[in-house]
Amino acid sequence: MPGPIETVETFCAMWAQPGGFAASMQEFFTEQTEYENVGMTHTIGIEQGLGLVAGFENGMGIARIKVDMLAIAANGDTVFTERVDHMVNTAGETFVSLRLMGIFELQDGKIVKWRDYFDTAPFKQ
């Protein structure tokens, strides 16, 4: 079984494909997974996570997300990331890039908690 860092890297890499964000949740979330964009959204489980993704795709026009992993480290089953997430529309154009820090807590190869912290200013432009 892949280690925590490899699991998070695979999870994030899946977002680069159309439909990949939803597919990554279906593969790596549990029914109890807590996903939080701190100060903005909080979901529990696969279905709520998929609902949030659908809102991103439909409301913001996100077709896929290209991730630049700047740094990644683990302390046991907790993985810390520094990333730049590039939101890409259906035309293949990056329309917003977010610098953020993420914390993933894993159990038995699944993500049980995920928190992202980022500046929301790019969404206000």
Residue of 77, 85, 108, 119 with catalytic role: 85
Q: Give the mean pLDDT of the chain.
A: 94
What is residue 60's predicted lDDT score, i.e. its pLDDT? Answer: 84
Active site residue 85: yes
pLDDT for residue 56? 81
Catalytic residue among 68, 77, 116, 119: 116
R_g (Cα) of the chain, nearest Å: 14
Q: Where are the domains of the chain?
A: 4-124
Is 0.85 topped by the overall pTM?
yes
Question: Tens of pLDDT along 64-108?
Answer: 999 999 999 999 999 999 999 999 999 999 999 999 999 999 999
Annotation marks residue 77 as catalytic: no
Residue 90 phi/psi, 5° resolution? -65, -20
Is it true that domain 4-124 has CATH number 3.10.450.50? yes
